[in-house]
């Protein structure tokens, strides 16, 4: 017991897992007492998240991977800089989701409070254990447990859309788990073990390596939502509670990305070139299609879910670029690309959690998720509007925010790819850079659509007109995340070397030297985020000074009346709608939008969503969750 309180990473993680489990169970038992239950679940989640953050900060600088057994729980864990970064990327959003839950759980009915408090904490415990697992069996077990928690979070509303979303997620998760079991069974057959340290030092035949990689890519891709394996993502994020949807994007799907990195760059040795090229093509497809489909959505959480897919594609562009760099023996390309992917993986968790929590605040105060029925929310919920505007700007990679810092590094890696000596790399580099730029343009349109339609103009429904600011813990959660987006953007020159150290540890490469502006000293362009921030802050000052010096005597105050509407009386119906905003793109990319209908025929959808199948899967999920909990504790 003494070692448990020694504040080592192992003891901190053990403490966090125990707090998550105990607080979830206790909050479930006292769910009849709303304030007590919500405080136990939310405060327990925050304490556990803080413990994981402290542990992750130590693991980040721990050097090469080392195997260890967690005290008390006797769980076989592996500590490496990559695992530390993933823990940090999951725990920081989890901290603010738990703060948000303190108020949200207090405002829902007893049944929903009991289930959500328990399942969210259990989800975080399972994902944390998966992130540090030292073998394939532990990783699959914990990922399966997390996926089942996500399923029950999705279906608890018990309407038609939620049941369909839950069934899609359940079938996708089981298929992903089956692929991972086959992949690690194949590796076990060739090496005699599923322990990561053994796999890392085993020479596999090329055929075994490639088949295991393809199965792993399929399995982890289903969890990460790589297009075309993304069917469960949009409606699941819309049906689950807002803080759970934020955890899906910032934690559950990131485990899938980590799996691709671990198998593609760590466990199986140097990848062949076609692995990296395949990941790059899937990545740009996921990024572009995700951004394109997002603009067609009116449900704000479905829109954000599609943008999660876009950012999964952006992260995988870095992973695929690293794999190509290793295959072509280009260490600068590999290091820079993986650095960009890992930095964006962390940044995405910050701004996407802020967006989901902000959308949850709007939904709680209005009961509306459809942007067509909102409008004018900036005047009614100003702090939520400010947080979401900053997060949207970060998602669109506008300087000086954190999304810009990581995407700029990714552009630099694509320029490195363009200078390769291999023709296919020289061809793909510019094409991928153009694809990433188009994706950024779609994200900019998303800012105009989401913020303009939701927060500006006049309210389009009585519920929107009657909205009031959300409770303080909910507003504070999204505001603090938005502040972190600013901090991690402006301070990126000092933070990037730490992420570079993680990339170097994965690639077993020397640490890249960095210039004063945080750019690698390899010919890449330096952009000073602090200088951009200062210039942006100074821009409004110059016009004000000029106006102050040159203006004469003040004119009398003008009378204010109704907005000018070409001589007609202004009405809320004249405001641009989400449908009208996206109509030109709908026409321009009509074949791509029709592709979704052709890929999922109505007959197949109807057959899959028959009532008996959903009921059967729900019973099966309950039995499987109970069995896995017994196995995990045993």
Q: What is the pLDDT of residues 311-322, one digit of tens each?
A: 999 999 999 999
The answer to whether residue 403 is domain-embedded is yes
Whole-angstrom distance, CA of residue 308 vs CA of residue 304: 6
* 3 state SS of 591: helix
| Percent residues over pLDDT 70 in the chain | 85
pLDDT score recorded for residue 563: 65
CB 492 within 8 A of CB 402: yes
The answer to whether residue 219 is domain-embedded is no
Angle at 344 between CA 58 and CA 350, to 5 degrees: 75
The answer to whether residue 632 is domain-embedded is no
| Number of folded domains that form the chain | 1
CB 456 within 8 A of CB 381: no
Q: What's phi and psi for 561, nearest 5 deg?
A: -135, -160
Classify 511 in phi/psi space as left (phi over 0), alpha (psi -120 to 50) or beta.
beta
Pick from 47-61, 507-521, 604-618: least confident:
507-521
pLDDT score recorded for residue 514: 57
Q: Check whether 141 has a pLDDT greater than 50.
A: yes
The answer to whether residue 331 is domain-embedded is yes
Average pLDDT (53-67) is 86
DSSP states of 9-66: HHHHHHHHHHHHHHHHHHHHHTTTSHHHHHHHHHHHHHHHHHHHHHHHHHHHTS-S-E
The answer to whether residue 388 is domain-embedded is yes
Angle at 234 between CA 232 and CA 238, to 5 degrees: 115
Q: What is the pLDDT of residues 40-59, one digit of tens each?
A: 999 999 999 999 999 999 99
Mean pLDDT of all residues in the chain? 85
Pick from 120-124, 330-334, 353-357: least confident:
330-334
pTM attached to this predicted model = 0.90
The answer to whether residue 200 is domain-embedded is no
Domain that holds residue 327: 270-541+572-596
Average pLDDT (423-442) is 87
pLDDT score recorded for residue 572: 61
Whole-angstrom distance, CA of residue 442 vs CA of residue 162: 28
Average pLDDT (9-30) is 92
DSSP states of 385-396: HHHHHHHHHHHT
Q: Check whether 328 has a pLDDT greater than 70.
A: yes
* 3 state SS of 283: helix
Q: How confident is the model at residue 516 (pLDDT cuts 50, 70, 90)?
A: very low
């Amino acid at each position: 017991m003494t070692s448990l309180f020694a504040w080592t990473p192992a003891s901190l993680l053990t403490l966090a897992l125990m707090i998550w489990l105990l607080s979830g169970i206790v909050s479930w038992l006292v769910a009849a007492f709303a304030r007590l239950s919500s405080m136990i679940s939310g405060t327990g989640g925050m304490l556990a998240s803080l413990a994981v953050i402290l542990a992750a900060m130590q693991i980040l600088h721990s050097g090469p991977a080392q195997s260890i057994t967690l005290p008390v729980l006797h769980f076989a864990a592996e500590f490496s800089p990559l695992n530390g970064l993933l823990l940090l990327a999951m725990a920081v959003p989890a901290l603010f989701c738990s703060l948000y839950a303190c108020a949200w759980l207090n405002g829902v009915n007893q049944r929903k409070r009991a289930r959500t408090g328990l399942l969210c904490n259990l989800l975080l415990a399972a994902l944390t254990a998966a992130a540090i697992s030292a073998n394939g069996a532990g990783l699959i077990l914990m990922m399966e447990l997390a996926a089942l928690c996500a399923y029950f979070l999705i279906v608890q509303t018990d309407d038609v859309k939620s049941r369909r979303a839950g069934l899609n997620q359940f079938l996708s998760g089981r298929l992903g788990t089956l692929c991972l079991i086959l992949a690690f069974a194949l590796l076990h057959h060739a090496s005699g073990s599923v322990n990561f340290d053994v796999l890392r030092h085993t020479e596999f035949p090329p055929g075994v390596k490639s088949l295991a990689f393809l199965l792993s890519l399929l399995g982890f891709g289903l969890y990460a939502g790589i297009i075309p394996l993304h069917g469960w993502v949009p409606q699941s994020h819309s049906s689950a509670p807002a803080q759970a949807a934020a955890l899906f994007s910032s934690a559950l799907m990131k485990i899938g990305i980590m799996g691709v990195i671990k198998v593609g760059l760590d466990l199986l040795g140097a990848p062949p070139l076609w692995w990296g090229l395949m990941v790059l093509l899937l990545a740009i497809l996921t990024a572009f299609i995700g951004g394109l489909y997002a603009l067609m959505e009116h449900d704000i959480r479905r829109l954000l879910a599609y943008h999660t897919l876009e950012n999964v594609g952006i992260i995988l562009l870095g992973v695929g670029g690293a794999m190509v760099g290793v295959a072509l023996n280009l260490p600068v390309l590999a290091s820079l690309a993986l650095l960009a992917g890992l930095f964006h993986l962390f940044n995405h968790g910050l701004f996407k959690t802020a967006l989901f929590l902000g959308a949850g605040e709007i939904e709680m105060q209005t009961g509306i998720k459809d942007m067509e029925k909102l409008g004018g929310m900036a005047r009614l919920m100003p702090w939520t509007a400010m947080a979401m505007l900053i997060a949207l700007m970060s998602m669109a990679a506008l300087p000086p925010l954190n999304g810009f810092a990581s995407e700029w590094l990714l552009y630099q890696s694509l320029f490195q790819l363009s200078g390769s000596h291999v023709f296919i790399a020289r061809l793909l580099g510019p094409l991928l850079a153009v694809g990433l730029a188009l994706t950024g343009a779609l994200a900019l349109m998303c800012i105009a659509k989401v913020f303009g339609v939701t927060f500006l103009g006049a309210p389009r429904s009585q519920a929107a007109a009657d909205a009031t600011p959300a409770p303080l813990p909910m507003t504070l959660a999204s505001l603090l995340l938005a502040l972190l987006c600013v901090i991690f953007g402006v301070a990126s020159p000092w933070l990037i070397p730490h992420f570079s150290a993680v990339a170097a540890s994965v690639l077993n490469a020397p640490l890249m030297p960095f210039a004063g502006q945080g750019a690698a000293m390899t010919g890449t362009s330096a952009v000073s985020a602090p200088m951009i921030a200062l210039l942006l802050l100074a821009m409004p000052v110059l016009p004000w000074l000029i106006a102050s010096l040159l203006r004469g005597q003040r004119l009398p105050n003008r009378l204010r009346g109704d907005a000018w509407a070409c001589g007609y009386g202004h009405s809320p119906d004249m405001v641009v709608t989400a449908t009208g905003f996206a109509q030109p793109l709908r026409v321009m990319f009509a074949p791509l939008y029709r592709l979704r209908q052709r890929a999922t025929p109505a007959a197949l959808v109807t057959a899959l969503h028959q009532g008996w199948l959903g009921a059967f899967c729900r019973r099966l999920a309950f039995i499987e969750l109970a069995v896995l909990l017994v196995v995990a504790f045993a």
